[in-house]
Chain A
Amino acid sequence: MATDTMPSAAELEGAGRTADDATNEAVLADINKYDFVTETKGVFKARKGLNAEVVRQISEMKGEPEWMLDFRLRSLEIFESKPMPEWGGDINIDFDDVYYYLKPTEGQSTKWEDVPEEIKDTYDKLGIVEAEQKRLVAGVKAQFESEVVYGSLEKDLADQGVIFTDTDTAIKEHPELLREYFGKIIPPEDNKFAALNSAVWSGGSFIYVPPGVKIDFPLQAYFRINAESMGQFERTLIIVDEGAEVHYVEGCTAPMYSTESLHSAVVEIVVKKGGRCRYTTIQNWANNIYNLVTKRAMAYKDALMEWIDGNLGSQLTMKYPAVYMMEPGARGEILSIAFASKGQHQDAGAKLVHCAPNTSGRIISKSISKNGGRSSYRGLCKVEDGAVESKSNVVCDALILDPDSRSDTYPYIEVEEQDVQIEHEASVSRIGEEQLFYLMSRGLSEAEASSMIVSGFIEPLVKELPMEYAVEMNRLIELQMEGSVG
């Protein structure tokens, strides 16, 4: 604990006390009175709303060094100064009605047996234990209400110098490494929600893969929002050193709640010379959740960055994974799947930024809209001055299942160089009566037939997923399609 570098709770008491502070202390003193989520034993619960004091509290609870507190406070100012984005979807969030930090257990659990039962139950349902048993994944990080409570890492990876931990722990155990990149790929100035995350972030994964180390199985983490009106602001940083390789997989499900909930993550990735990184996400949020995420990777000489991004559920998702190709030979690939159903708006897409010569990028986007859902592809292809002989290829296909649903395409192309090759193809199709009839005439029910057409539509992306995720993705699509027709 680096308490010497920051004000303690006692010190704060003396200076500039306010009525709010008194309220906070009452909360801190008598936290058990707050039964904030049934059967979850909270140790600390921040109050709703956001100001510098809340940010200080979060930082203090975590025992962070001063530079991080300064970073948070600076980010808060940026957040407050930035207007809400006027593009994308309708964002209707009362920032005063959100919890910004919840900590369900004291410290980190190192053994599975130590993880509280109710949390285990949740993970049982998510299949984490099976995944661990089958050793399909190298290490499991699970985020439950803001804090990582369970983590394990294969010994041989640790022996090779691979670091896979939560970001809070990384501040303490790998401060120099973390500080070198943290907030550098996505500075808080980038956008309002990146600034918000920077001010109140908690949890997330920190991964470092040393030069030449190739991890040939996916690292995996599950995230889950499980508190009403609670924001989740995880912060992930992945550093792939020269010639190293990693595939990181993140999956989300969330239970249904009646009031709005905010998820705003930041994921920063650096892929150094000759390195490869693949980051796979399947998110299936409850219908009331705002999912506003900033993901960006910087790929250096001859490095490859791949984002595979599947978005289901949520009230509004705004997410555009980006690859900045910083040096010659860098490559970026982004595969995006969006599924928008009733009351859902997926504003998803991708960004390719060519900052150096001979860089190449590809975006494949597939979106599905049904039952009045709306999906938008929003993508940027940017070629900076001097990035000669760069190539970008964008293909976005939309499938609309019924007349109530909607699909839009917003491609942004900014080219400051002559000698480049940019291709953009877009298609929109409606699920065909002829296709449905053909499948049904072979004995498939209408729901099965629709589901099969949709699965086929996204198949080119699903086959890129690890086996268990491909199965899960298809199952999610089937669940989404059930009862949707007839």
Chain B
Amino acid sequence: MSKTLKITDLQVSVAGKPILNGVNLTINRGETHALMGPNGSGKSTLGNAIMGHPTYEVTSGSIELIDAEGNVTDVLDLDASERARAGLFMAFQRPMAVPGVKLADFMRHATTNVRNPDRKEGEDLIPMREFRKELKGKMGQLRMDLDFARRYVNDGFSGGEMKRAEILQMAMLKPRFAILDETDSGLDVDAVKLASESIAEIGHEADTEMGILIITHHDKLLERNTPDFTHVILGGRIVETGGVELAHELHENGYDRIREMYPEAAKANTQMQEEDAVAV
């Protein structure tokens, strides 16, 4: 079972344009990391690259899973499905709608595959009764109505419903490493509080003990999920790492100090944003 997610000198391009310029990050199970940075700094790119989104091309560096015996799995050899089965998970900032597919059916497939990584297509799913019982329990924990699982995946969901559905999936899939990409965005204060509590509860259950990477602009989500490390990303590079106090500082004062201290990265960040604007 994987113990460590290790990212070394990761460089990632989208459509030939470099976004990440050498990211180093090591997350052990049980640790909570916060990743903060201004718009266009590469936060979501890092998440997508870890999950294996085909649009994000890794041009250099490595992503590895390392178990207690030191055995290494090269994550870059795996497609998104295999990465999920290896224990990686990302709660999306804007999860895709899949009309006509019921959340419960989708989650039963997903849960079966993640728990039986060698399952072939067409082989049996988790028994319905067993799955339903577990789902009901988790939904209760997240204060969700069971009817919700009969709705089509993210189809017509409100922002809050989408985020809760993502957390529900995390609860059912029990990944070893979870990336939460702006799970607090678009939520009101109460919803953020609920999300924060849920993540704390799910992330540190005895049988899960996840390594968590929280991508955020704020520190609200961190109230119940105190980061062991806070990383600041700017211009596609992690420029500073600190404790929870760094998260509070950035939330209070923004990124001006960071930009001043790391002018080259700030310049790269501005360039990336401008190119983005041109591309749009």
Report yes or no: B90 in contact with A441, Cβ–Cβ below 8 A.
yes
Report yes or no: B54 in contact with A448, Cβ–Cβ below 8 A.
no
Q: Which one of B79, B81, B84 has the highest number of Cβ atoms from chain A below 10 Å of its Cβ?
A: B81
Report yes or no: B81 in contact with A444, Cβ–Cβ below 8 A.
yes
Q: Which of B2-10, B94-102, B218-226, B267-275 contacts A (4 or more CB under 8 A)?
A: B94-102
Interface status of A212 (Cβ within 8 A of chain B): no
Q: A447-B121, A452-B106 are in contact. Are A440 and B100 (CB under 8 A)?
A: no
Interface status of B51 (Cβ within 8 A of chain A): yes
Cα A458 to Cα B101 in complex, Å, equals 10
Interface status of B70 (Cβ within 8 A of chain A): no
Interface status of A175 (Cβ within 8 A of chain B): no
A-facing residues in B98-135 (Cβ within 8 Å): 98-101, 105-107, 109-111, 113-114, 121-122
Report yes or no: B83 in contact with A441, Cβ–Cβ below 8 A.
yes
Report yes or no: A433 in contact with B54, Cβ–Cβ below 8 A.
yes
**Residues of chain A with a CB closer than 8 A to B90's CB:** 441
Report yes or no: A440 in contact with B101, Cβ–Cβ below 8 A.
no
Report yes or no: B81 in contact with A445, Cβ–Cβ below 8 A.
yes
Partner pick for B99 among A448, A456, A478, CB 8 A cutoff: A456
- Expressed in whole angstroms, the minimum distance between the Cβ of A457 and any Cβ of chain B is 6
Partner pick for A440 among B79, B89, B107, CB 8 A cutoff: B79
Interface status of B85 (Cβ within 8 A of chain A): yes
Interface status of A453 (Cβ within 8 A of chain B): yes
Q: Which one of A432, A439, A442, A455 has the highest number of Cβ atoms from chain B below 10 Å of its Cβ?
A: A442
Nearest residue (CB) in A for B83 is A441
Report yes or no: A437 in contact with B53, Cβ–Cβ below 8 A.
yes
Partner pick for B98 among A438, A443, A482, CB 8 A cutoff: A438
Interface status of B229 (Cβ within 8 A of chain A): no
Cα A432 to Cα B96 in complex, Å, equals 10
Cα A446 to Cα B114 in complex, Å, equals 14
Nearest residue (CB) in A for B115 is A443
Interface status of B255 (Cβ within 8 A of chain A): no
Interface status of B152 (Cβ within 8 A of chain A): yes
Partner pick for A444 among B54, B99, B109, CB 8 A cutoff: B109
- Expressed in whole angstroms, the minimum distance between the Cβ of B207 and any Cβ of chain A is 18
B-facing residues in A108-133 (Cβ within 8 Å): none
Interface status of B92 (Cβ within 8 A of chain A): yes
Report yes or no: B100 in contact with A433, Cβ–Cβ below 8 A.
no
Report yes or no: A440 in contact with B55, Cβ–Cβ below 8 A.
no
**Residues of chain B with a CB closer than 8 A to A107's CB:** none
Report yes or no: A443 in contact with B114, Cβ–Cβ below 8 A.
yes
**Residues of chain B with a CB closer than 8 A to A448's CB:** 109, 113, 121
Cα A482 to Cα B84 in complex, Å, equals 21
- Expressed in whole angstroms, the minimum distance between the Cβ of B209 and any Cβ of chain A is 20
Q: A443-B173, A478-B122 are in contact. Are A459 and B100 (CB under 8 A)?
A: yes
Cα A440 to Cα B122 in complex, Å, equals 16
Interface status of B80 (Cβ within 8 A of chain A): yes
Q: A433-B55, A443-B84 are in contact. Are A438 and B100 (CB under 8 A)?
A: no
**Residues of chain A with a CB closer than 8 A to B121's CB:** 445, 447-448, 482
Nearest residue (CB) in B for A486 is B79
Q: Interface extent on A, as a size class?
A: 20 to 34
Cα A374 to Cα B85 in complex, Å, equals 35
Report yes or no: A435 in contact with B98, Cβ–Cβ below 8 A.
yes
Nearest residue (CB) in B for A445 is B81
Interface status of A468 (Cβ within 8 A of chain B): no
Report yes or no: A441 in contact with B51, Cβ–Cβ below 8 A.
yes
Cα A378 to Cα B99 in complex, Å, equals 25
Cα A441 to Cα B105 in complex, Å, equals 16
**Residues of chain B with a CB closer than 8 A to A459's CB:** 99-101, 152
**Residues of chain B with a CB closer than 8 A to A458's CB:** 100
Interface status of A425 (Cβ within 8 A of chain B): no
**Residues of chain A with a CB closer than 8 A to B95's CB:** 438
**Residues of chain A with a CB closer than 8 A to B80's CB:** 437, 440-441
Interface status of B227 (Cβ within 8 A of chain A): no
Report yes or no: B110 in contact with A442, Cβ–Cβ below 8 A.
yes
Interface status of B169 (Cβ within 8 A of chain A): yes
- Expressed in whole angstroms, the minimum distance between the Cβ of A339 and any Cβ of chain B is 15
Interface membership of chain B positions 19-63, coded 1 if the CB is closer than 8 angstroms to chain A and 0 otherwise: 000000000000000000000000000000001111100000000
Interface status of A460 (Cβ within 8 A of chain B): yes
**Residues of chain A with a CB closer than 8 A to B101's CB:** 452-453, 455-456, 459
**Residues of chain A with a CB closer than 8 A to B92's CB:** 438
Interface membership of chain A positions 446-471, coded 1 if the CB is closer than 8 angstroms to chain B and 0 otherwise: 11110011011111100000000000
Report yes or no: B84 in contact with A442, Cβ–Cβ below 8 A.
yes
Q: Which one of B89, B96, B107 has the highest number of Cβ atoms from chain A below 10 Å of its Cβ?
A: B96
Q: A438-B92, A452-B109 are in contact. Are A460 and B83 (CB under 8 A)?
A: no
Nearest residue (CB) in A for B113 is A443
Give the interface of B toward A (CB within 8 A).
51-55, 79-81, 83-85, 89-90, 92, 95-96, 98-101, 105-107, 109-111, 113-114, 121-122, 152-153, 169, 173
- Contacts A442-B107, A457-B100 known; 11 new A-B pairs at CB < 8 A: A437-B54, A440-B79, A440-B84, A441-B51, A441-B81, A443-B113, A445-B81, A445-B113, A452-B109, A453-B101, A456-B152
12 A-B pairs, CB-CB below 8 angstroms? A437-B51, A438-B95, A441-B51, A441-B84, A442-B110, A442-B114, A442-B173, A444-B81, A444-B109, A448-B109, A452-B98, A459-B101
List the 5 closest A-B pairs by CB distance, nearest first.
Answer: A456-B100, A459-B100, A443-B113, A442-B110, A456-B101
